[in-house]
Structure 1
């Protein structure tokens, strides 16, 4: 290995530059000692025998120094030439018993005077001739005092320092010295060609590798592509069956994931309650919707529930004294709880709740049943709890959607579709058989907005009959119950009715007993003396309730619930049968709503519209007198469950059925259904540009 010239060492100076001074790192000369490798120049005298013997002795103790076999005092063999003969001690140190000349050959020792000043107190690099051995330039400093030489204790750096020359480390650097693994580092064109290009991947290892990759790829494809496709075709998807929101979007644009207890049929509905025997013909009815309200703390704010939504408004249509707020409705103890309290809200003195399944769940025909504990005490009057249904084309509380829609149930084209049920000053009974306070006027309704008389091409949801005429559409009402109190006897009761338009003279429907209507227990149920007014006609009866099933009973909350409901068959030959305390109360048949020649109207069918469900608790003098002194607030309407059944093979649920569509019309008039401040259709028309559809009886089509 080539060695660096002397000029590369820090204590050498270039010839002729005696003024050059190196850094003065340490004045302790012994601390500056570095290992010295003795070497001889050609022709130089051999070291003394003592030196040789010392070197051999040192070699016997130092693994880096190997003496010639058999002779401890012999001169170094050629293989040992140039190796250090220092004794086995830390690098850079010398034995105090040995002369410093033992650390270098005589030629080097004789040259040390050029490196040491006369005083011997400091080391100065001196210019040297080109013949000065390199060992002399790198030799450790010598103690030239007359006293015995002493050696300073080695420093940490002395113990672990190595010469920058690898040849001084004691290893064999000869290229002829082969090691066992040298062949791995030597290029071999023939061998490399065979290994690099002459192989094949069709080995056991290669096949296993490719097989593993194939299995991994197949698994990933099956997971991210196969599984979604397979699950799409094998999963049973719930049908909307015409429902606008059922499985679709709600008013807030959210898409509900309808699973578990929030499915059409509540998973907690008892198995025995999943079928029903019809009240009228003993037919088997299947459960199509149920809500047991067993999930604690449900919220009915818009978007929180897939079927029910609470309103946030004042129900001005009936001059209610309360504000309806969604916070007044929740579920607790396995029941739906709607409360009414004397709480100031929106400048009103009371706050109650109303919620519905409008545009989310509707049904046409069948049987609806609710289990209820009525609010307050049956001896105190003034509350107005109600559970009822309405056609989906009208949204309760939103006047613009109801104007010209409620409470019509009419599919004929005649004077009954016109405002006030009059045309050209008649018929006379429409002007004289009504409310005396209004000069005998029978109706103040604006006319049926979506009637069978609507001109072709006008704004109408359809459908059209075989002759191309529109089918009359509206928002009729059937009440499951409206609770009241017989003041004379302080007895709780419920009114169960159907609201309709256009009206009979005197609002009197045909009431031939057992032919047009039937009361099943006259001791409990009687025909309602209220028949209607300028805004509605009602076929109604009043039944005494189970007096224990009130949540604010004077004896305390009893935990008693009574079953109410109605079963109905839509159409011109249909019927409605109401249930009170789990038993039939009364029935009205379609002929009771038949034609009336006196007012010029035709048959009003049992409602054929898809009906949604409502429940509310309010207070209003429009419904009757209020006993302010004895009412105790808050009061609660509790509903244990709501269940809807339909005849086997006649399922018809959803708010947008093909024969009575509603979705597109609602979407086209969404402000009328979402802004309760628009109280009439004219208000909606003013902001939307819509117009009242033309009627062929009075308009040019």
Structure 2
């Protein structure tokens, strides 16, 4: 069946390939009519809903208070063969780049993200992890040299940065986790990141991640680039508003050896999922010791007397029956950087980020069957975050059961550090990472070579037993059955700030800042040659054998180059390419042309000046310049006529009028005889006597 709102074309009708010119007026009228029709035919916020989503999932009830939420975004991944390379999909982008560099605040990435590792098949989104070496060029900014870097594994990251963003609501993800539940090494995750930062692009997250602080603090200002102390509204941002790229981890799965993990309460064993809010600023005094639950520490008082003080951590965190505080991850210290690192932080710009993490008990069934995980996010002041997960029922034939995982209230975050529950427009990320700090042996002998290479026998001591066999078997894929986002339009029905859609909402704009700092969101030379952060979404052009390769007739058609007329490359070998029907995009027309149906902060600003909007949207630059030239020429002509009409009449020695202007056509009078004799005059008409 075709998607709702898209008519099935006649098999005999071919879409016109060569574009026909449109007049300025027709463009304006056509666009206005199309926008009006679209808004009248579909509800607001329905622009991102997959037509394959069953109707029973078009709404949901909150697990917290039972209030009703409506579907605003979904992707069922039912169309096989979708690709997510930059420019292929309007909702998602699969990366082609390395992860973080192994700097002193990084996480020792062992993988390279390749867009070919992300695909759709059998009704699932498939994110793969494989053994495979990738090499690229990198620059040493200190020595001014170029050198090679490499990784031994290939995996995938799919992100919605600057495409689909939302603030607040409910997220549900149905997933089969990758690998073996008792072999560590894979780091699968589903998470949210604020749109001001782009995951793995360190220049965009430096001093921006994961700040959620809206107070002017002069001591913290150097570390928070977008501080509430800023009194100017540059790049479309609001003055005196603290901003950042906040992070909420729905799940981060950890596999490992069978057995209880020390210091967990209630006892948790591998595998488990981290459910985490990462926030800055963090606690700087008497932090808990990693590997231990918060306790009391012995110290010395002001007058030298011994004292026992509690370690500082967040009060009021609520854990479910299958969840424990994570005593192994309390946060990240973003230390001063070294000159050779890709981003720079001075001593004053260094800062502590906290990880309010919980360990949710997983089971082997999570790695064999789909289970859902849910995040309920009420943003901003007085908001809250609730995590839920499905666990296998005691009866294998029964469906999984929902259980509460973890809850964080804004007041307890605010009381500890002054931060708040995130309110930034955020995008979804799904990926598999491989890191020497996640699931790999931590008690490696000093004689072990830390090389993490399955093809090098000397590295075996640094890898979990069975890890390389798992990677070679192809059993390291994460399968996503669906992603769904719900929101509540009634602001009084939930705590916190209003729910919003879009990456550039009026209260938290991002578009102009990203455009003004586009280099931060691009891959770095010399390994890459990006001209802009993202490519324009392609519409057709993919190779095909028949219409089925282009999504069948209601999505696109397979057209020979000969039919494409002027667009066929002369002298090239003839081939078939996809031509998309209206409303479908991608090289093979497999994706609906999703986009926001409400204006963002930048569009609202532009609409305030209708002339600027019309000039930008409807007038091509050559036409605009021609129009300005005509106006200038017309104005100059009128000025010359007025000048000539006001010139005084002059006579030659014979008494004739000297024609100084071609426009002197009205009657003229010239005195004769005595200049004082007003009665003797001769009537002159025309240009001559």
TM class, shorter-length = 0.5 to 0.7
CA distance in 2 between partners of 1:541 and 1:580 (Å): 12
Residue of structure 2 in register with 1:487 after alignment: 257
The CA deviation at 1:396 is 0.6
Q: Which has the higher contact order (CA 8 A, sep 6+)?
A: 2
The structural deviation recorded for 1:369 is: 0.8
Paired position in structure 1 for 2:363: 546
Is the contact between residue 394 and residue 405 of structure 1 (CA under 8 Å) also seen in structure 2? Answer: yes
Match of 2:409 in 1: 589
Between Structure 1 and Structure 2, which shows a larger proportion of strand residues? 2
Structure 2 CA distance for aligned equivalents of residues 385 and 311 of structure 1:
15
Write the deviation string for residues 653-683 of structure 1: whole angstroms up to 9, x where unpaired.
Answer: 100000000001101111111134699xxxx
Could you say if the C-alpha distance between residues 648 and 629 of structure 1 is closer, same or farther in structure 2, counting changes exceeding 3 Å? same
Match in the other structure for 1:335: 124
Seen in structure 2, the aligned counterparts of structure 1 residues 336 and 307 have a Cα distance that, compared at 3 Å, is same
Matched, 1:672 2:527: no
Pair member with larger Rg = 1
Whole-angstrom CA distance in 1 between matches of 2:71 and 2:251: 21
Q: CA deviation at 1:621?
A: 1.2
Per the alignment, in what secondary structure is the counterpart of residue 421 of structure 2?
coil
Q: 1:344 to 1:647 in 2, by over 3 A?
A: same
Aligned-pair CA distance for 1:485? 2.6
Match of 2:64 among 268, 280, 298: 280
Contact 1:276 1:286 in 2 (8 A): yes
| RMSD (Å) for aligned C-alpha atoms | 3.2
Change (3 A) 1:416 1:638: farther
Q: Is 2:279 aligned against 1:500?
A: yes
CA distance in 1, matches of 2:216, 2:435: 36
Q: Give how far 1:282 is off.
A: 1.2
Q: 1:537 to 1:677 in 2, by over 3 A?
A: farther
1:237 to 1:648, Cα distance in 2 relative to 1, 3 A: closer
Can you list the C-alpha shifts for 1:411-460, whole angstroms capped at 9, x where unaligned? 011156245xxxxxxxxxxxxxxxxxxxxxxxxxxx00010012436x45
Whole-angstrom CA distance in 2 between matches of 1:311 and 1:273: 30
**Partner of residue 427, structure 2:** 612
Asked whether 1:623 is paired with 2:426, we answer no
Instruction: Return the TM-score normalized by structure 2.
Output: 0.53
| Match for residue 170 of structure 2 among 367, 384, 387 | 367
Using the alignment, how far apart are the partners of 1:415 and 1:394 within structure 2? Answer: 23
> Which of 340, 352, 375 is 1:566 aligned to?
375
Shift of 1:531: 1.1
Counterpart of 1:236 in 2: which secondary structure? helix
Q: Which of 315, 324, 328 matches 1:526?
A: 324
Match of 2:188 in 1: 385
**TM-score, normalised relative to structure 1:** 0.52
Counterpart of 1:463 in structure 2 is 238
Distance 1:385 1:332 in 2: 19
Kept in 1, the 8 Å contact 2:182–2:258? The answer is no
Shift of 1:580: 1.6
Q: Which structure 2 residues correspond to residues 100-499 of structure 1 after superposition, within 5 A?
A: 232=34, 235-237=37-39, 263-316=47-100, 317-346=106-135, 347-415=150-218, 417-419=220-222, 447-456=223-232, 459=234, 461-464=236-239, 470-485=240-255, 487-489=257-259, 491-499=270-278
Deviations 1:101-127 (A, max 9, x none): xxxxxxxxxxxxxxxxxxxxxxxxxxx
**C-alpha distance in structure 2 between counterparts of 1:416 and 1:647, whole Å:** 38
CA distance in 1, matches of 2:28, 2:432: 53
For the structure 1 residues 234 and 568, does the alpha-carbon distance in structure 2 shift closer, same or farther, using more than 3 Å as the test? Answer: closer
**CA distance, structure 1, for counterparts of residue 251 and residue 511 of structure 2:** 28
How far, CA to CA, are the matches of 2:116 and 2:202 in structure 1? 23
SS at match of 2:131: coil
* 1:570 Cα offset (Å): 1.1
The DSSP-based 3-state class of the residue aligned with 2:357 is: strand
Gaps of 5+ in 1: 1-223, 247-258, 420-446, 465-469, 551-557, 597-601, 685-701
Going from structure 1 to structure 2, the CA distance change for 1:475 and 1:506 (only over 3 Å counts) comes to farther
In 2 relative to 1, CA 402–515 (structure 1 residues): closer, same or farther, beyond 3 Å? closer
Residue 489 (structure 2) aligns with: 648
The verdict on how the C-alpha distance between 1:488 and 1:230 changes in structure 2, with shifts beyond 3 A counting, is: closer
1:19-38 pair list within 5 angstroms: none
1:72-93 deviation line (CA, Å, top 9, x unaligned) = xxxxxxxxxxxxxxxxxxxxxx
Contact 1:546 1:562 in 2 (8 A): no
Instruction: Check the 8 A contact 1:545/1:580 in 2, yes or no.
Output: no
Q: Distance in 2 between matches of 1:587 and 1:410?
A: 20
